[in-house]
Amino acid sequence: MEHEIQQLVDMGATVAQARAALRRYNDVMEAAERIFGGAFDDIRDEGSETSAPSAGPSGKRERWPVTTRLVTPEEEDVPSEEASGSCEDDNEDDEFVNYDSDYEIRDDTPNAQVDIDPYAGILFSKDRREEVIEVEEEPDIVHIPGVNERVKLMTQNQWMKGCPEGGEQGFLFSLYSQLIEGKCPCPSGCDYSVTRTKSQFFAIFSSFEVYIDHLRGVVRQKCERCLKKFCLACGEPINGSRTSETAKGSNDYDIFHCSNLQGVILGVGLAVLEQLYHDQLQNPLGPENKVRTSKRRKTDSTINTSMILDPDDDDDSYLTPPAQGKKPKVGTGYAGDQKEDTTGQAEAQAIQHTKDERLGKLMAQLRVFLPSLRRPGGARTSDYLVHPTALAHLRRRFNNICSSLLRNDSLADMSDRSTVYFELFEWLETISNHEALASMMAMPIMVVSSVRTHTPKRATNGTLPLRERTIIYEGSSGPRELLESIVIQANAAIKGLEGVKPIEAAPVEMTEEQKRVNNDTKGKTKEVPLPPLSEENQKLFGFCQRILATADAIDRSLRETKGEKFLERVRESLPKIHTSDSTSNEVFVGAEASDEAVRQAYIAWATCVRFEYCDLTVPALTDKPVNQVNQDEPPNYKFYYNTEARMLASSDIPKRSLAIAKELAVLTTNLPVAWDSSIFLRVDETRVDIIKALIIGPEGTPYQNGCFLFDIFLGHNYNQLPPSVKYMTTNGGKFRFNPNLYADGKVCLSLLGTWAGPGWVAGKSTLLQVLISIQSMILCEEPYLNEPGWASSSGTPQSMAYSANIRRMVVKTAMLGNLKNPPEPFGDIIRTHFRLKVRSVSAQLDHWLSQDDGSQTVNDGAASGRSGQGGSGNGFQADIEELKRVMERLQEDNSVGGAESMIV
């Protein structure tokens, strides 16, 4: 009976609950079902208050030590404390439930409050870094009887790959060891046993279906003495009557009979899935054209993806990282010329579709074995008893695939790959529906940040040298947070697909005659339906609706399984789109805050407010009574292209709507944000083709920290042709800040067709490219060189004088002028920008003053004046002093109000 008790304890029951359940039920699985169904909740062990980690001084429950060392082949025979992943083997069950189970943090007191979030403070921190040493093992290759192929067997290292949580290593090691060695005795006690081998459970077949058929053939065993049937995975009897009650077919019951088998299937299946996914990423031409890479690897490299199980080459277990470092400015934002070769696009799309079909099919096959209490035909035993290794593998392997897919910044690409993404959404919903798995939605994903390969160590027993890697894992956004970024894109795309919406007219008091006419015609007319979407638009719209439905389903499941408080805290951590009436995004910092703290506060604020819908209309001014105003007349806008916008007020152009929808989806979450330079966008809430942009001048340029405003209109033929862009920060049409920025507001850029060079590519170029081109190529370090005739004059006195002249104009107009009279709708943005950067801007102004040549400011930017002895005769010093005074007043306002909104 002790063996059965230990099984139940391993599943999460207490010793007292296990003994009581086994006294009433002879079958371990039935006893476990009753325990976790709540039948024995009133039974507690003596001294059970010490079974889980206690709350620390901060009120958070302390975690058990996390193992950072995997066992080597020589250590397999002697499981040590390091190998098992715990300090005391008796506490392995407590370690597991500590980080994800409700059982160890359930309040069993009679007056317990059900609305308290039991997970507060232990699930959401991304400030975590783990170092793991992994040992490479050569897999065995065997021939499986009845299967016409030689297969590799999963090694222990491959089984245990990934960042450990709590007692995961102990559970993984225990299940692996149990199923590859020793004998499985007949549960009736007749001294008959069956030998377990690694090939029975850990064979990597070419097809997942073949693997499942193989398991069906080995898991049901029959005692040759007493003729009773039992499960090779858990050693428990297989009751015929239970089979008929639980499942329609015996094969299904065999596979879903026990949690041990569940852990194995998910572990092996997810390893195969991860391998297929990363193999497709590394080999864009498909497996038949796989290109082997060199075995030489850097000892230190930054990697943004998870390690994989590669049955062909263990050296390819980690993806080669992209090159790091500062991107070159040359060519940024250009999409190529009009004759760009696109002949290979159709072939590439066909290859991607084939790969997605394979990946989606495998995901669908494997999803069947996820624990689900909503399984068609009724839940099975393993659905109630989730094995700890199942959760471990989901966290280590599926989470990394999920993270990679959800970080896709192109909603259009996701829609084209709907086969994979629809299946991904099914996975997320299934996981969130189960109480034992739902916390995964909110927990940070541990991703590989670097891999360091060590010199192979020679083994003493004549075997092959052991190869070790040190992997650094760091916390990143969890599944629900990543999904919210796509939700934001989906909402923006739907808004774009709606096209131009009419302005809602103010309610008008009707005359008695109008009321009678209205009553007489009520019910006799039908509302005019919106024009149907085109096939391509409908496809994107349907995909966006599916995204929103998935997010709603996950939130609903989290509320049901984890409680309202848990869901509230999850939602508080999600990214949000700023709204014009929001006050929660105000940022105030104390004078004593460190430079690093201010930087972090600035980036957090800018990320939150970089994109916003707002009202850009101009209120109508008329002496006519309200009931005599023509409601069909389009409004005016605070916008340079007001006339063009009003002309398209009633237009419905499907291709344009689709292009704008895709554009908005990208812009909502991908506008560049940094301490050095950021881009802010404001879009009219009813006219998504009317856009205003504010670009902060990049650090190290004469435009640094200046605020530059642009009006942007997406015309009737967008994006077959580029958008219309007008530069608005011109000091009333007087200042020319750059050879490419005219005083009349013209923006010279080849991407816009206003300058020679690579131009706009219909259907491919984007507004984001235009914005980044202006930010990096026009607002550049040495703007004198932007004039073709001066391109080879870098570092010359003329170039230096040109930059000095720009600095004076920037301080006067793009800094002081915009701060004293902020352009709508960026007043709050500009004030917060200077308030948070007051120390940095003040130091910058002092440096600029020391660099000034004393020349008078020339409006067209030409450096024609002679250098003087200082910076006081041209008004530069006076402008700087006034700017500092204005920023000081902003700081005083900071110290007076908004204490509840402070970030730092």
Residue 271 · residue 396 · CB < 8 Å: no
The CATH classification number of 576-622+633-901 equals 3.10.110.10
Q: Which of 90-99, 163-172, 535-544 has the lowest mean pLDDT?
A: 90-99
Q: What mean pLDDT do residues 417-441 have?
A: 93
Does the pLDDT of residue 733 top 50, yes or no? yes
pLDDT average, residue stretch 298-326: 37
Query: What's the pLDDT score for residue 282?
Result: 77
Lowest mean pLDDT among 26-30, 174-178, 645-649, 879-883: 26-30
Helix (H), strand (E), coil (C) string for 310-339 = CCCCHHHCCCCCCCCCCCCCCCCCCCCCCC
Is the predicted pLDDT of residue 672 greater than 90, yes or no?
yes
Q: Is the pLDDT of residue 339 over 60?
A: no
pLDDT at residue 113 in the model: 41
Query: Which pLDDT belongs to residue 381?
Result: 85
Please report the pLDDT score of residue 335 as a whole number. Answer: 38
262, 369 contact by CB (below 8 A): yes
Structure token digits, residue 495: 């808004």
Can you give the C-alpha Rg of the chain in angstroms? 33
Taking alpha carbons only, the member of 307, 273, 568 closest to residue 442 is: 568
Rounded distance between C-alpha atoms, residue 80 and residue 217, angstroms: 34
* Choice between 104 and 662, residue whose per-residue pLDDT is larger: 662
- Range of weakest confidence among 326-335, 339-348, 604-613, 754-763: 326-335
The two tokens of residue 5 are: 């008790």
Pairwise CA distance, residues 64 & 86, whole Å:
7
Confidence grade of residue 243 (pLDDT, cut at 50, 70, 90): very low
13 burial type by CB count under 10 A (0-12 exposed, 13-18 middle, 19+ buried): buried
pLDDT in tens, 205-221: 989 999 999 998 888 88
Distance of CA 604 to the CA centre of its chain: 16
Residue 194 pLDDT: 92
Q: Six-digit token pair at 44?
A: 């507690």
Does the N-terminal peptide bond of residue 702 adopt cis geometry, omega within 30 degrees of 0? no
pLDDT of residue 258: 87
Length of the chain in residues, anyone? 904
11: confidence class by pLDDT, cuts 50, 70, 90 = low
Cβ proximity of 499 and 652 under 8 Å: yes
List CB contacts of 85: < 8 A, sequence separation 6 or more. 66, 67, 92, 95, 164, 167, 168, 169, 170, 173
Closest CA to 329 of 783, 18, 732: 783
**Whole-angstrom distance, CA of residue 427 vs CA of residue 370:** 8
Which of the residue ranges 435-449, 473-487, 530-544 would you say has the lowest mean pLDDT? 530-544
pLDDT given for residue 633 in this prediction: 77
Q: What is the pLDDT of residue 181?
A: 81
Residue 259 and residue 174 in contact, taking contact as beta carbons nearer than 8 Å = no
Place of tokens 């991908």: 670
Q: Mind giving me the DSSP string for 676-740?
A: S--EEEEEESS-TTEEEEEEEPPTTSTTTT-EEEEEEE--TTTTTSPPEEEE--STTTT---BTT
How much is the pLDDT for 410? 85
Place of tokens 């506060």: 601
SS3 category, 296: coil
Catalytic residues: 748
The amino acid sitting at 26 is N
> Token pair of 826, please?
């960026």
Q: Is the pLDDT of residue 637 over 70?
A: yes
Distance in angstroms (rounded) separating the CA atoms of residues 129 and 131: 7
Strands, sheet with 301-302, edge to edge from the N-terminal-most edge strand: 129-136, 467-476, 445-453, 301-302
Question: Which pLDDT does position 330 carry in this prediction?
Answer: 35
Q: In a 3-state reduction of DSSP, which class is residue 476?
A: strand
**Residue 838: band (very low, low, confident or very high) from pLDDT cuts 50, 70, 90:** very high
Q: What is the pLDDT of residue 467?
A: 79
Query: Domain locations in the chain?
Result: 52-324+358-407+444-476, 408-443+477-504+533-575, 576-622+633-901
The residue with greater pLDDT, 572 or 809, is 809
Q: What is the pLDDT of residue 323?
A: 39
Of residues 707 and 244, the one with the higher pLDDT is 707
Give the 3-state secondary structure of 4-38. Answer: HHHHHHHHCCCHHHHHHHHHHCCCHHHHHHHHHCC
* Torsion angles phi and psi, residue 693, rounded to 5: -125, 145
pLDDT band at 432 (very low <50, low <70, confident <90, very high): very high
Q: Does 689 score more than 50 pLDDT?
A: yes
Helix/strand/coil for 230? strand
pLDDT band at 694 (very low <50, low <70, confident <90, very high): very high
Residue 547 has pLDDT above 60, yes or no: yes
Q: Tens digit of pLDDT for each residue in 813-828?
A: 999 999 999 998 999 9
**CB neighbour list of residue 795: distance below 8 Å, 6 or more residues apart:** 782
How far apart are alpha carbons 317 and 392 in whole angstroms? 19
| The pLDDT of residue 153 | 93
**Is-cis flag, bond preceding 719, omega within 30?**
yes
Range picked from 458-467, 582-591, 731-740 for highest mean pLDDT: 731-740
Question: Is residue 648 scored above 80 in pLDDT?
Answer: yes
Bridging pattern class, strands 229-231 and 220-222: antiparallel
Cα–Cα distance between 823 and 851 in angstroms, integer? 29
As a whole number of angstroms, the distance between CA 315 and CA 453 comes to 10
Q: What is the per-residue pLDDT for 843?
A: 95
Q: What distance in Å separates the CA atoms of residue 856 and residue 456, rounded to the nearest whole number?
A: 68
What pLDDT is stored for residue 57 in this prediction?
34
Instruction: Calculate mean pLDDT across residues 372-400.
Output: 89
Write out pLDDT tens, residues 124-162: 677 888 888 888 888 889 888 777 788 999 999 899 888
Distances (CA, A) of 144 to 140, 153, 171: 12, 11, 27
Is residue 64 over pLDDT 80?
Answer: no
pLDDT band at 315 (very low <50, low <70, confident <90, very high): very low
- A 10 A CB-CB count for 671 gives 19
pLDDT category of residue 586 using cuts at 50, 70 and 90: low
Give me the mean pLDDT over the 505-524 stretch.
48
Burial 140-158 (b: 16+ CB within 10 A, else e): eeeebeebeeebbbbbbbb
For CA atoms 648, 650, 655, 661, the dihedral sign is positive
**Beta pairing partners, 696:** 707
Contacts of 482 by beta carbon, 8 Å cutoff, 6+ apart: 402, 403, 406, 407
Residue 42: is its pLDDT beyond 90? no
Please tell me whether the peptide bond between 518 and the residue prior to it is cis, using omega within 30 degrees of 0. no
- pTM, entire model: 0.73
The more confidently predicted of residues 357 and 453 is 357
| pLDDT band at residue 772 under the 50/70/90 scheme | very high
DSSP one-letter code for 110: T
What number of CA atoms fall less than 13 Å from residue 153's CA on the CB side? 16
Mean pLDDT for 451-480 is 78
Confidence class for position 344, pLDDT limits 50, 70, 90:
low
User: 707 has which bridge partners?
Assistant: 696
Share of the chain above pLDDT 90, in %: 36
The arithmetic mean of pLDDT across residues 451-463, rounded, is 69
pLDDT, residue 47, reads 43
Q: What is the mean pLDDT of residues 35-51?
A: 58
pLDDT of amino acid 284? 59
Q: d(Cα 220, Cα 504) in Å, to the nearest integer?
A: 68
Q: What pLDDT, on a 0 to 100 scale, did the predictor assign at position 327?
A: 41
Q: Is residue 49 over pLDDT 70?
A: no
Residue 570: predicted pLDDT: 87
Does the pLDDT of residue 102 top 50, yes or no? no
- Are the C-beta atoms of residues 390 and 263 closer than 8 Å to each other? yes
839: left (phi over 0), alpha (psi -120 to 50) or beta: alpha
> Which pLDDT band, with edges at 50, 70 and 90, does 439 fall under?
confident
290-299, 384-393, 679-688, 772-781: which range is least confident on average?
Answer: 290-299
Place of tokens 């689900």: 372
Helix (H) or strand (E) holding 778: none
Q: Residue 173: how many CB atoms within 10 A of its CB?
A: 23
pLDDT category at 840 given cuts 50, 70, 90 is: very high
72: pLDDT strictly greater than 50: no
pLDDT at 779: 94
Is the per-residue pLDDT at 95 higher than 50? no
Task: Give the pLDDT score at 850.
Answer: 92
On average, the pLDDT of the chain sits at 76
Quote the CA–CA distance of 161 and 153 in Å, as a whole number. Answer: 15
Residue 13 confidence (pLDDT) above 50: yes
Nearest Cα residue to 547 out of 476, 485, 478: 485
CA–CA gap between residue 207 and residue 505 (Å, rounded): 62
**pLDDT tens, 391-426?**
999 999 999 899 999 998 888 889 989 999 999 999
The β-bridge partners of 69 are: 133
User: Could you tell me how far CA 34 lies from the centroid of its own chain?
Assistant: 39
Contact at 8 Å (CB) between 225 and 216? no
Q: Is the pLDDT of residue 71 over 50?
A: no
Strands 193-195 and 183-185 turn out to be antiparallel
> Are 387 and 393 in contact, with CB atoms under 8 Å apart?
no
Strands of 737-892 (E only): list them: none
Q: Does an H or E element contain 783, and which? A: none
Lowest mean pLDDT among 55-59, 118-122, 185-189: 55-59
**Could you report the per-residue pLDDT of 172-208, keeping only the tens digit for each?**
998 999 998 878 999 888 889 999 999 999 999 989 9
